[in-house]
Each structure stands twice: as structure tokens, then as C-alpha cells.
Amino acid sequence: DGGITQSPKYLFRKEGQNVTLSCEQNLNHDAMYWYRQDPGQGLRLIYYSQIVNDFQKGDIAEGYSVSREKKESFPLTVTSAQKNPTAFYLCASSTGQKETQYFGPGTRLLVL
Amino acid sequence: KQEVTQIPAALSVPEGENLVLNCSFTDSAIYNLQWFRQDPGKGLTSLLLIQSSQREQTSGRLNASLDKSSGRSTLYIAASQPGDSATYLCAVTWGAQKLVFGQGTRLTINP
């Protein structure tokens, strides 16, 4: 089955800890994205990547980092600099930046 | 500033009714507009994609229209069913080549 997988489904972070959210796709898509969703708000773009070994900041990149070493994978690290990390994180991919985006099931990050 | 707005935030209708969800955007120079569905605690599912040159797209009981001059799109759902209950999100791509999302309309279909 082709699709996008995200793990874990739930993630707990302690104060001062960095955590990494996984996103994998087997759709052979070039572009991948990370969004953050807060209650009552739409999705906001954190980072996006158009191609392997390249990525750009979105609207709310502060406190986050990414890598794109493989076409299939686009992990997101939530660093200790992100002071309000509790949110629902969604990963997406597409054939190109202006094409339909396909979303993973999401990871809910909670702070202990 | 390029923004997308969806009103109302929530809508409740009886089963079987036809309904319309609204989306407005601030800059008419869009590349495309997409409608997504999101079930509680889940990811997004793409419903319809309308290119800038198109006026509407249809998929089953869903029809999305686009009026760039007025900065509006509507999602029409015919013969609504309880399974249509979800949050519906509108998203626009402008020249910056990234999606800008509205806040969504939470739809409840009552049996």
C-alpha cells in the first residue's frame, strides 16, 4: 500500500528535551511538508522540502529543525527552544509544490 | 497579507439536506484551491482540487466552485449523511507555492 506514515502516534516531551517525529512516504513524491495544528486553528507550515538535501523554513520554523537525507524520509525535531510544543503535527507529501498534498495520520505531542 | 477564512466555524444540519460550506480568500491571484476533510484526531484527506483556470470540480456528491474575482469558493454536499460529519478545510496556493489553510468548518449531520 502506498502512503505516508508518521510515528509515534503520541509523543511525550520533558522540559529541555529534544524529540524527533518520524515521517516516511513510499509515494515517490519529491516534496514533503511539516505542519502544526492547534485547537481551533488551521494548519501552519513549519518546514518544507522540494527535493533531497534541500529544505526551507515555513511560517513558524523557530524551535524546529528538519533533515532530508532520503527522498522517502523527512524527520522533524522539536528542540528545547520551542516553548509551546503541545500540538498535533502533520506531515504531507506531493509530486510538486503546487500539486495535491497527501497527509499522514499525525503525531500528537504533549509536554510532561 | 494572503489569508483564507471559513465561516461558520461549526454547522449542524439534519440528514438528507443539501448544504454549502464557504471559503473566502484575500488575493485573487491564486494558483489553485483545495478542499480537505479531517476526522477527529486524524490526518487530512484531499477531496477536490480546483486549478486557477477552472470554475468547478465534482466528485460524487461533492461539488466545489471557484470565483476568483470575488475571492470565494464553496463546497456543496448533496444529500448529506451522518458519515459526512467531519471538519472541512479550505486551502489556497498562491505564488509562494505553499498552502495557506483556513480554520475549518466543523460539520455535524444529525440522523
Chain A contact set for B103 (CB, 8 A): 40-42
Q: Which of B4, B34, B101 sits opposite A100 (nearest CB)?
A: B34
Q: Using CA coordinates, name the residue in chain A closest to B92.
A: A98
Reported as a single tens digit per residue, the pLDDT across B32-47 is: 999 999 999 899 999 9
Report the sign of the C-alpha dihedral through residues B98, B50, A93, B40, in that order.
positive
- B9 and A40: CB-CB below 8 Å? yes
Half-sphere exposure of A13 (CA within 13 A, CB side): 24
Residues of chain A with pLDDT under 70: 1-2, 97
Cell numbers for A89, please give them: 503535527
Distance separating alpha carbons of residues A2 and A28, to the nearest angstrom: 9
Residue at grid coordinates 497579507: B1
Cell numbers for A21, please give them: 517525529
Count Cβ–Cβ pairs < 8 Å, chain A vs chain B. 55
For B3-19, what is the mean pLDDT?
96
Task: Report pLDDT for B94.
Answer: 87
Q: Which of B24, B52, B99, B105 to mutate to test the interface with A (most CBs of A within 10 A)?
A: B99
Task: Report pLDDT for A96.
Answer: 82
Residue A46's nearest CA partner among A107, A94, A89 is: A89
- A106 and B42: CB-CB below 8 Å? yes
C-alpha distances out from residue A67 to A4, A31, B64, Å: 17, 13, 36
Reported as a single tens digit per residue, the pLDDT across B60-85 is: 999 999 999 999 999 999 999 999 99
What is the Cα gyration radius of chain A? 13
